[in-house]
Chains A and B, each alone.
Chain A
Amino acid sequence: MTKLETLNILTSDTRRRDAYDKVTGRANYTTDVTLPNMLHAKVLRSPMGHARIIKIDSSSARKIMGVHAVLTREDIKKYSESELMPVYGYFIKDQPIVAMDKVLYKGDIVAAVAAESERIANKALATIRVDYEPLPAVTTINDALASNAPELFEEPPVGIVPAYGEGASGKLRSKKNICYTFNYETGSANAFNKCDHVFEDEFKFSRMHHLHLEPFITVASWSDDNKIDIWTACQNPFPLRKEISRIFKKPENDISVKVSYIGGGFGAKNNCKTEPIAVMLSRIARQPVRFCLTAEEGFYTNTQHAAILKIKTGVMNDGSLVARESEILLDSGAYSDGSPLVAEKAGYRIPGPYHYEHLKTTCHCVMTNTAPAGPFRGFGGTQTTWACESQIDMIAERLGISPYQMRMNNLLDKGQAFVPGESGMDSDIKLGLDLVAKEINYKNPPKEPNRGIGLSIGFKDGGGVNKPATARIKASTNGDIFLQCGTIEMGQGAQTALPNIVAEIMNTPTERVRLMPIDTNHTPFDQGTNASSSIAVMGQAVERAALDLKSKILNFSAEQLNCKTEEIKLDNWTIRKGNETIPIIPMIMGFYGGTGFEFSGEGFHKSPNSHLAPLEAPCVFWEYGWGAADVTVDIETGQIIVNKLVVSGDAGKAINLNVCRGQDEGAAIMGLGQSLFETMIYDNADLINGDPLSYRVPMARDLPASFISLTQEQGYGPGPFGSKGMGEGGILPVASAIANAVYNAVGVRLTELPMSPDRVNKALLEKQYNYCKQDTSRD
């Protein structure tokens, strides 16, 4: 980590660098890409939750004027295995480009058409006749695990289990309809024997859709010389290129993936989504194809994981946590997508930031006949924080300890390893808890009927598992700086933060540094824009590239000036030597000739591999989301009114304070929606609110009367100047803080999300009923 005594550049420039593009409407998204002769794709989706496809008749569609390509399983079958491998997925390759034998959820893609307009494509799709043989559908976790449940995948799809370190393991198809199971264990189960109490609780977590406003979209062009160009809204262009190469059997240097601004991702836009169909249709039509989903189709493309979390926690009378066993069941939907990775993280994060002697965790990915679930902001951590932080309060209540003290007694200290072999905590967690407790007036809470307060600490490992990132920087003769790296600007502020890090190190105004457009042909490798990694992982690669560039320029200048490198400093593309200011440009022209030169620097970062770390590499940084809520429960209607919501993240060092605030607040309001009302509602195989009109997301009027976000800068992050990532922390603590506040207010414990008025009412009635029952028994 570079420590500079004073940060000159960062403190003087607080604007986001994408401001002009975005406030003037000039920002280009993939939705704005048009190419000559571009066709438009639309798809036919399954009306059934689970069915075998008997016959597809697409002959009429092929005859319609303006239709240039039709894609069904019959077209896929025309290609040999050396030409096409028509399935994809992260760890498990189970999702077909178009359905082959079966459809696995309502919304599964059966056929695709590329035509001169979307209207013609839709007209052609309407003529396609599909005969289905309906099969029983399993649409909940429990249905899928029932002994008489049908198996979704009759043949095992190809899949891998990654290398794990100490205590962790993974298994493909561990049981019927479970595509992947992650296990982790440390310490001896005997630890439970000495516990004064063992508490077992179960929690249910709901499922949201990302509802990123820019739809899923790809423009693909398969040229006559078999080169593939892809413009796409994708968070991880390099893994996408690898997958496209594998599917279409093309060398990676024949495939170029280009990503512009992304209009919101929140995890959904990782790996193949609209890309394979766009590429396949372009291959058939030999014209560029634009495939843009509607917002409704987005709901059928990727979602968060609903979950059931069972936790058994052993504690001492004084509230000390000793041992925990847990079983998490994730509703993965019909295809595995990112589920195994989410399972890994949910299974790993279930302890929360507390110390235990023994842990045994299992997380299963359960396949159901619903839309595929994948990465979603929080990535398993939202599910685990919901359960973990609710149970902390429940245990505290049972033992008669204050929930604040229960946390304080058990929190890991700064520097203390999460589990054996892991990196240490890189924030003072107690400090953060004190901050939000003070802000919510924990010690002197409002004394009104049906009003209460609650605390929570969201927790996840940040920066991805074993994630490499590379960056390249070059400076022209004039000192104009080009930064090349694969981090996508999708709202999180990378286009501001990363160039500003370079500007600070190069001691040059920020406007002299530009982040260059992303094209996998030229951009150095990056694993993807995810896991809150832009600052903590790519930031370190960028920092090293800048230091490399700086040292090359200083060495060159020292040589030209016949002095030691230590005697000179870089200052806005001049050399400062004592009181002397020497321009660099004439030195470059003098040595390299009149056309000048470009100096360049390279930077790389990856957490070192270690078999002692359960996930094979120690975590890059730890992401916390401290939360506190003050609520009033309307006992007539069951409505929860959030009077005040406080969230706090630790930026380590904020490269841009506005960006940090925006990350925390945006994530927190997403969490508020999940807490109170936002959820995908399935009625058997039918998603009944899968469109923006009936799917309720938070609006400005849903903001709590008081909404406070506090950006901490504790300074212990591994990123440049002590920074760390904070894109996800804010979503984590909200639901449990509200549930804990509701308990504090009216004495009912909600264990299922969202905490809608009907659930609150039901809980209140149950409480009243039990109270009356006790009352009667006393008589």
Chain B
Amino acid sequence: MKNTTTLSFILNSKEYESIEVPTCVTLGDLLREEFGLRGTNLSCNQGVCGSCTVIIDGNPIAACHTFAFEIDGKNIRTIEGLECADGSLDPVQESFAELSAFQCGYCTPGMIMLSRALLDQNPNPSEELIKEWISSNICRCTGYAMIIEAVQLAAKKIKESEA
């Protein structure tokens, strides 16, 4: 029985072809150990807390709960892929930084990826919709109110930059 598989995918805008990975490896471990993308923080390993959220084909997905082989042919974005080429921050990152919508920071990359996916799908989310989306990730530090405000600010920033 072969216990590796060959995958092709796009990771943070870069195309990878015929990458051999063990079938038992999760996406979280693949990103952290093989690609050195340590911004994706692993916590519950049950797909519950959302610390390891990445964006796959536009949807927020828990990397701890996704097998690496599931990303074949897909487009993956991690926190490292959110910054612009010139090093400037994404409006969501900028908003979290500006409003201090984080404390220990362990959930932050996941929260930011979740928020980015929300704003990609719905550039004008209501407060209720933001709450609903944010409720898929745990933040043990902030009490969420400042995170919700940061997502609202990010929506405003994105709109302004597009206007």
Contacts and interface: CB of A to CB of B under 8 A. Distances in A.
**A and B assemble together:** yes
Interface of A: 15-16, 18-29, 31-32, 210-215, 261-266, 294-295, 490-493, 656, 658-659, 661-662, 665-670, 691-693, 697-701, 703, 707, 709
A659 B99 CA distance: 10
B98 A669 contact: no
Contacts of A667: 143
Contact of B142 (A31, A32, A490, A662): A662
A212 B78 contact: no
Given A24-B39, A662-B100, A700-B131, A214 B48 contact: no
Contact of A666 (B51, B103, B106): B103
Given A23-B89, A23-B93, A665-B145, 15 more contacts: A19-B96, A22-B96, A23-B96, A25-B39, A25-B108, A26-B39, A212-B140, A213-B138, A294-B45, A656-B100, A662-B146, A691-B46, A693-B46, A700-B147, A703-B143
Given A19-B100, A662-B146, A214 B78 contact: no
Given A29-B41, A700-B147, A701-B132, A23 B97 contact: yes
A24 B89 contact: yes
Interface of B: 37-46, 48-49, 51, 78-80, 82-83, 89, 93-94, 96-100, 102-109, 112, 130-132, 134-136, 138, 140-148
23 contacts: A19-B97, A19-B100, A19-B102, A20-B97, A22-B96, A22-B102, A23-B94, A25-B41, A28-B38, A211-B138, A212-B140, A264-B104, A295-B49, A665-B142, A666-B143, A698-B143, A699-B135, A700-B131, A701-B131, A701-B135, A703-B131, A703-B145, A707-B145
B148 A700 contact: yes
B135 A263 contact: no
A492 to B, nearest CB: 7
Nearest to B140: A264
Given A662-B146, A699-B138, A214 B40 contact: no
Contacts of A215: 43
A23 B106 contact: no
Residue from A265, A491, A709 whose CB has the most chain B CB atoms within 10 Å: A491
Nearest to A27: B105
Contact of A697 (B41, B43, B140): B140
A666 B134 CA distance: 15
A535 B11 CA distance: 43
B134 A700 contact: yes
B112 A23 contact: yes
Contacts of A669: 143-144
B141 A15 contact: no
Contacts of A699: 134-136, 138, 144
Nearest to A658: B100
A295 B48 CA distance: 11
A21 B44 contact: no
Nearest to A261: B105
A19 B96 CA distance: 8
B28 to A, nearest CB: 11
A717 to B, nearest CB: 21
- 8 shortest interchain CB distances as A-B pairs: A25-B39, A263-B106, A491-B103, A22-B105, A491-B104, A665-B143, A669-B143, A25-B79
B133 to A, nearest CB: 8
Given A692-B46, A693-B46, A703-B145, A211 B97 contact: no
* Interface SS majority for chain B: loop
Nearest to B83: A24
A232 B157 CA distance: 38
Contacts of B135: 699-701
B141 A264 contact: yes
A15 B140 contact: no
A375 B132 CA distance: 33
A213 B139 CA distance: 8
A662 B49 contact: no
B146 A295 contact: no
B105 A263 contact: yes
Contacts of B98: 15
A212 B46 CA distance: 15
Contacts of B108: 22-23, 25, 27
A261 B104 contact: yes
Contacts of A262: 104
B97 A213 contact: no
A214 B41 contact: yes
A264 to B, nearest CB: 4
B138 A697 contact: yes
Contacts of B78: 25
Contacts of B109: 23, 25
A670 to B, nearest CB: 8
Nearest to A656: B100
A554 to B, nearest CB: 34
B103 A213 contact: no
A32 B109 CA distance: 14
A15 B96 CA distance: 10
A490 to B, nearest CB: 6
Nearest to B138: A697
Nearest to B39: A25
Contacts of A493: 103
Nearest to A215: B43
Nearest to B102: A22
Contacts of B99: 658
A21 B44 CA distance: 22
Contacts of B41: 25, 29, 31, 213-214, 263
B103 A662 contact: yes
Given A491-B104, A661-B146, A703-B131, A24 B138 contact: no
Contacts of B37: 25
A493 B96 CA distance: 15
A661 B101 CA distance: 11
A400 to B, nearest CB: 36
Contacts of B42: 31
A665 B46 contact: no
A320 B106 CA distance: 48
Contacts of A24: 39, 79-80, 82-83, 89, 93
Nearest to A292: B42
A305 B35 CA distance: 42
Given A23-B96, A491-B104, A213 B140 contact: yes
Contacts of A266: 140
A16 B142 CA distance: 14
Contacts of A214: 41, 43, 104, 106
A645 to B, nearest CB: 10
Contacts of A691: 46
Contacts of A700: 130-131, 134-135, 144, 147-148
A15 B89 CA distance: 15
A263 B42 CA distance: 11
A90 B130 CA distance: 44
Nearest to B146: A662
Nearest to B48: A692
Contacts of A698: 143-144
A297 B142 CA distance: 24
A674 B70 CA distance: 38
Given A16-B100, A29-B106, A213-B49, A666 B43 contact: no
